[in-house]
Structures are given as structure tokens and as C-alpha cells.
Amino acid sequence: MSDPSRFLLPHISRMKGYVPGEQPKQGEFLKLNTNENPYAPSPLVLERVRQACDERLRRYPDPDASGVKSRLSKLFGLPVESILVGNGSDELLNLAIRCFVGRANRVVIPHPTYPYYEKLVQLQDGLLVRVNFEEDFTLPREFIDASASMTIIANPNSPSGTLVSNEMIEAVATGTEGVVILDEAYVDFSDVGGLQLLERFPNLIVMRTMSKSFSLAAMRIGYCFAQPSVIAGLAKAKEHYNVGLLAQIAAEAALDDLQYMKGNAERVKKVRTDLSSELRRLGFEVWDSAANFVLARIERPKAADIYGELKRRNVLVRYFDDPRLRDCLRISVGTDEEIAVLIEHLDEIIEKR
């Protein structure tokens, strides 16, 4: 029997496949590798989700996630027609690529950034244009590409945690004929935000998620803001019932308890400051982070060895197989106690050399 995978479309066959951060099924790991929030979701979320586990699950959920949209509309002062809720912001990224990028169309992304963008471009058989960040993680002028169908900026960026200035975002939005995606997955840990740019730049799509700041990665809730005509286009392409009932209920409750999220974001920011200075004391170079993780660089001992040694001690951080990041580790901000444990291990590992 010949291999049926030969029927796969050629551009799918060529794909490498995305490797997400490890999610160990067993063992007591200190997980600082996938930027999950170290704090539990709001008690209001847990209570409402528990209460919703009844006969209602028989029915399909609201295809428009109206309860979530109306809360977002009130919170951000934008019309519901300019909002779309997705099964994580990954789904919204996926939708945007499918709706705006055809075969061989140019998609510009910086490097290094969130690896999922590259996979999406390959899936669409688009033309990926990767532009290297400068050493200090600012964007060079050649990032502005007039003929790109899509330009994507994660702000704050992962894995660097750094910010692109609003000035540069405006220059990109003005300088391209295509759409510009501003992926604000980590925006609640920063003091910035691009929503106010929507009015002046109609080609902008701003995406956010409840996975990081709201501690709801498992529920898969993302949302995006754009011109109503763009939202209407994306909505045509989405699965009808893309956000499950429990996810909608969780999202509504999370927005009804916004102060809880903001309190946790403040705690994360404080631990981030402590973590950064501890890492610097240990000899790491640490970029100023506006997210819930830090990127730290060290030449000796080798970052790959530190990663391996930490893993043997049941501490997971992120190491990237990428020349630009060879000397780097990305470390998610945990609780005070978790970071104290990490620093103890790092003290031992680095002192030993």
C-alpha cells in the first residue's frame, strides 16, 4: 500500500509543524515555560462555570458570544460590530490569515517573534517575509512593506517582552497597503495599548486574549477589534459555534471581575522586577519586559546547559533552537515563592561552573 500522505497538498507536506512549550502530564514541575498566569482564575469565574454545568450543555452556544461582546464594548467604548470573539486569539489569527492572505501573498513578521505566525503563513501557502529585529528589539525601517497583504506585530513581543513604539506602529499602518495585526496577548502587563489607533488606521486589527492576564488559558478565549466591515468578513469565515458555552460564561464572569485580573497583573509586574534584578545579579543580560516573562541572555554557562540542568531539577523554562536566541532563556513570571526556588537552583548551577 502506498502512503496516503502523498495526497496531502504540497505546501502542507513541506510544513515542519509547530512545537509548543512542554506540558508535562506527570510529575511535580515548576512550569515557567509557557507564560501561563501563576495565579488562579477569579473565584467568580469558577463559581459561574460550576453553576453552568447542567442541562444547558445540551444546546449549542450563542454563535456571536453576545454577552462577552457587550461587556467588551462597554469596557473599551467600541461598538459591538467592531468586536469578534474567538476560540483563543490563535483562532482569530488563523481566521485573519485565511481571510486576507492568498497563495504567494506577502506576510511580514519580525524575527524572533511568536512562532505560530510562521505556521499560519505556511498553511496558507503565503510568502513569509521575516525581518530581523535590531539588537535592542526595535524594528528597522525596512520592516515597513508597502506591498504586504499582512504585517503582524506582537506588542509586547514574545520572546523578548519588549515593546514597539506607537510611532513605529503608526508608520507601519500608514506605509502598507495591507492589514496590520497588532497581537496584544500581553498588553495587560504593560502600560500601553493600540486600541486608540483603530479610529485613525482602518487597516488595523487588534487582538487580545484571556489566556495570560485573566488566567484562562484552558478556556480558549480571545477577542479582536477592527472596523465593522473587517469583523463582518472574519465572522463569515468562522465556525458558527467557535466559542463553547462554558468559555463564554467564564469570559463574561472574568470581565465582571476586572479588578481581580488587574490586581494579579500588578503582582506579576512586581515579581517581574524582582526576577529581572536577580537574574542580572547572576550575570544574565535581561531585556526590559512589558509582559509576564523575561528574556535573559548569558554566554557561560551555556543557556542550553542551564535549560537542561533546570529540567533535571524539574524546573521548566523555554529554550529556543534559533541562532538569534542561542544564548537566551525565556522565563515566565511565577509567584514570589516559585521565583525564589528558580533563583536558588540558578545560584547553584551557575556557581558550580
What SS3 string covers the chain? CCCHHHHCCHHHHCCCCCCCCCCCCCCCCEECCCCCCCCCCCHHHHHHHHHCCCHHHHCCCCCCCHHHHHHHHHHHCCCHHHEEEECCHHHHHHHHHHHHCCCCCEEEEEECCCCHHHHHHHHCCCEEEEEECCCCCCCCHHHCCCCCCEEEEECCCCCCCCCCCHHHHHHHHHHCCCEEEEECCCHHHCCCCCHHHCCCCCCEEEEEECCCCCCCHHHCCEEEECCHHHHHHHHHHCCCCCCCHHHHHHHHHHHHCHHHHHHHHHHHHHHHHHHHHHHHHCCCEECCCCCCEEEEECCCCCHHHHHHHHHHCCEECECCCCHHHCCEEEEECCCHHHHHHHHHHHHHHHHHC
Grid cell in block for residue 21: 512549550
Closest by Cα among 172, 33, 37, 178 to 101: 178
Cβ proximity to ligand PLP, 176 vs 211, nearer residue = 211
Q: Could you tell me the smallest distance in angstroms from the CB atom of residue 283 to ligand PLP?
A: 27
Binding site for ligand PLP (CB under 6 A): 88-90, 114, 154, 158, 183, 185, 209, 211, 217, 222
CB 188 → ligand PLP: shortest distance, Å? 12
C-beta of 114 vs 137, nearer to ligand PLP = 114
Work out how close the CB of 89 gets to ligand PLP at its nearest, in angstroms, rounded to a whole number.
Answer: 4
Residue 209 Cβ vs ligand PLP, minimum distance, rounded to whole Å: 3
Q: Compare residues 82 and 211 and give the one whose CB is closer to ligand PLP.
A: 211
Residue 124 or 332 with smaller CB distance to ligand PLP = 332
Q: Min. distance of Cβ 162 from ligand PLP in angstroms?
A: 12
Q: 122 or 314: whose CB is closer to ligand PLP?
A: 122
Q: How far is the CB of 183 from ligand PLP (least distance, A)?
A: 5
- C-beta of 158 vs 248, nearer to ligand PLP: 158
Residue whose CB is less far from ligand PLP, 113 or 346: 113
User: Least distance in Å: CB of 334 to ligand PLP?
Assistant: 16
- Closest residue to ligand PLP, judged by C-beta, is 88
Shortest approach of ligand PLP to residue 86 CB, angstroms?
A: 8
Cβ-based nearer residue to ligand PLP, 176 or 209: 209
